[in-house]
Amino acid sequence: MPQDRHSEQLEPEHDCNVRLRPGGLSIWQAVTATLPDWPVTYLADQAYCPYGSRSKREIAARSLKIGRFLVSQGASILVVACNTATTAAVSLLRKELPIPIVGVEPAIKPAAANSQTGRIAVLATPATPASERVQALLEAHAGGVEVLRRAGHGWVERVEA
């Protein structure tokens, strides 16, 4: 029987290169610029990165494990700064964790609203374009727009290089 990864204790110093550190990513920068007096922890999950080639179940389980760890460390809000993790896990995190959860979703609504050609593209890691959440966003906000969905390998590595 497989081990239940939901019940594992997250130990950043031993858990396959999971690092807690201040980061320079755009969302961390925006949060710290907007709320300079708030203590902010940035967690980079190097052990499981990139998430895009993993199953929804695996991403959700990992995200919940990390979320529970951050709550145990005193987090008062959680920003899931990853499209793939948001599409796979944000609903579960909101259900299971006692703090507000902010997800980063693909920008389908503004892309559709501002398209001058009537065509938009969703370019993401493999798990995102095919997700139920992206489908719901497309149905809600891109009714009259032609949508090209492309899943690519190596997006994370290229963006973060």
**Rounded (10°) angle between helices 56-72 and 83-96:** 60
Question: Could you tell me where the DSSP H helices lie in the chain?
Answer: 26-34, 56-72, 83-96, 108-114, 132-141, 155-160
**With contact defined as beta carbons under 8 Å apart, do 90 and 83 qualify?**
no
Number of H helices, E strands in the chain: 6, 6
pLDDT tens across 56-66, in order? 999 999 999 99
**pLDDT at res. 39:** 85
Q: Do domains 5-103 and 108-160 have the same CATH topology?
A: yes
pLDDT for residue 53: 83
Query: Of all helices (H) and strands (E), which one includes residue 19?
Result: strand 18-21
What is the chain's mean pLDDT, rounded? 79
pLDDT at 16 over 80: no
- What is the structure's pLDDT at 146? 93
The CATH architecture to which 5-103 belongs is 3-Layer(aba) Sandwich (3.40)
**Angle, CA of 38, 41 and 44, to the nearest 5°:** 150
pLDDT in tens, 111-157: 999 999 999 988 888 888 888 888 999 999 999 899 988 877 776 66
Report the range of poorest mean pLDDT among 2-11, 93-102, 147-156.
2-11
Does CATH number 3.40.50.1860 belong to domain 108-160? yes
Helix (H, G, I), strand (E, B) or coil at 41: coil
- DSSP-derived letter for residue 112 is H
Q: What is the pLDDT of residue 145?
A: 92
Determine the Cα–Cα distance for residues 75 and 141; give it in Å rounded to an integer.
32
Domain ranges of the chain: 5-103, 108-160
